[in-house]
Structure 1
Amino acid sequence: MDDLLNLDDQLAPEQRMIRDAVQTFVADRVLPDVAEWFEEAVFPARELAPQLGSLGVLGMHLDGYGCAGLDAVSYGVACRELEAGDSGLRSFVSVQGSLAMFPIWKYGSEEQKQEWLPRMAAGEAIGCFGLTEPDQGSDPAGMRTNAKQDPSGDWILNGAKMWITNGSIADVAVVWAQTDGGIRGFVVPTDTPGFSAPEIHRKLSLRASVTSSLYFDDVRLPASAVLPGVTGLKGPLSCLSEARFGILWGVVGAGRACLEAAVDYAKTRVQFGKPIGAFQLTQEKLAWMAVAHEQSGLTALHLGRLKEAGTLRPQQISFGKLANVRAALDIARQARSVLGANGITLEYPVIRHMNNLESVLTYEGTQEVHLLTLGKALTGLDAFR
């Protein structure tokens, strides 16, 4: 399918190489099996993680400790190509690099970095991020998970987290908890007594992804488990900004996959004696889908350039996450209508992407949260409280 605005011509040669390498990986290792993974609600993380590590995409935007240290647009392009395969695949990489590795890299002690980052970059250890709770999603300041220090200096962690990607397969969890001194992050090996992570089943979205609850029942951690470099909501919110940047790029790939499927189908499905792509109403659908796709690609590229310049602001990330997820979801829904009944089968990628994007719309900040973030940026007035 034509890139109508030639956006990839704006990529540097190394960024195009990353695009091609990730595209090839997805074509060879993901697309042949992802429909089956989705149908059976499995994700072969232990098999794929070392391969993703060898590809260099785990923590690829971080420096040192076995990480590739690549620029923001390269990371975005990789997320785009991963999500063209499946949102669950991009989610795995986002959680590993932006939510689990990033806080250790940014706020961790040298000992924590040396212990975890090289293994996580190689895909030898899997991480998860514990912020969302059963009763506290969009308002993380109200979290109930707490950690208290006893006279020995150890921390005792109690509480629960929910909707945690990679939770039941993780080797380490970065968990945020209330303490007497404010919200702190803890590096929690998942084999610590009192830690449990049952998987959440019966999902109809992100089925090719592991989603879990986390429970902490008097989990005893040494003083060295605390992330020393941050206190307060700044810590988890900065991680979410990193992950949301990957999302606003990733969903461009999901939208592209749906658009390509619709275009291919419209050129070959014959009705009333000619391909349905020859009818004006179908061409109108395809044209609007292409406009939405190219606009989301422009937004992602612009925000990537701002991130590389060090000027990207949280409200701009909210703009990109809100606009691009909505665009991708609209494309998926229109593509489903072009494919008709075939659009609801896993023989085509559309319904799988459409169902996944329903989750992407609400995780890492619901559209309402991002709308209010933009409203505050426009008015200076906080509508959250």
Structure 2
Amino acid sequence: MLIGEVARRSGVSTRMLRHYDAIGLVRPTGRTVGGYREYSAEDVRRIFHVESLRSLGLSLKQIGRALEDPAFTPSALVSDLIHWAEDRLVREQELLERLRVIDASEPTGWQDVLRVVELMRELDSTSPARRQQAVLTRPEDVSVPAELLVGAVLAESDPHVAGALRWALARAGGEGVAALAAVARSEDVDVRRRAVLAIAELPEGPPVTAALTDALGDPDATVRGHAALVLGRQGVAAAGPTLVGMVVEGSNDVEAAEVLGTLSKDPERAERIATALADELAAPTADSGTRIRLTQALVELEGTAAREILRHLAHDEDRAVALVASALVGVRDERTDQDS
């Protein structure tokens, strides 16, 4: 079979077939009277083997070794190929993210592109001082995509640099909060936790409140807890159930109880919160430790409902609960006398 026919059947160009011949990878077994290359059926099979291995990413040198060396182990090479492919995918993903960031900045000229690239390079610096300076010295007229700042703040370990990045996000206004809120819906729970913490550090406002309120529905208790503590301090009633749950679970229960006290300054909320705590106290699954935490939370609440529940608990069958309630009744009475 002459080279032209082999090229048509195999899909390999005549130029590449000549190259294979020159490097000794696939040499035709014969020549015609006129000196033309003549390939046997075995030669054609070898060409197909070469092309199959090339499709896996092997170099021609590796292919030659694989076909000629009986001691060559495919598993070792395949493992290496997997490693190289994974590294290449990581680099390609990083490039894709950088291109998306540049696209989001809506550059009007190459100077705008170069500014964003320079900022990305500075934010990748190993020096916290350089990263911080890159954020703080940015000119007012230079637009930075919120997605770039979000990615940086979520990856930042230095608290001072993280503060500068949050400041920059606050300057971005609604776009900064929206970008963080989008990340807060990530499938990665660690990413969601960092995103909610970053949102919580932004100045109060409707976008921040809305993003944190959405986080109250997160399946992760830590995410819900971060959001509830901030919202509760802002007086958002929707945080109440999560805060009560934190007391029950013993997760930042002291802080959660204090925030419930802030919410209870509204008389109607005080009644609802006291009732919620009482319901948890009466739950069949509540052990002694849980009931003590709930009892301690009651002392933080305003209003008469919490006081009456505490007085009732002072005669509780659980002696530990009764002792704690009795002491807290005295604390409340003393606090009431001081306020009057």
TM-score interval for Structure 1 and Structure 2 normalised by the shorter chain = under 0.3
TM-score (norm 1): 0.23
TM-score (norm 2): 0.25
Q: Which structure: greater strand fraction?
A: 1
Which of structures 1 and 2 has the larger relative contact order (alpha carbons within 8 angstroms, sep 6+)? 1
Instruction: Say which one has the larger Rg.
Output: 2
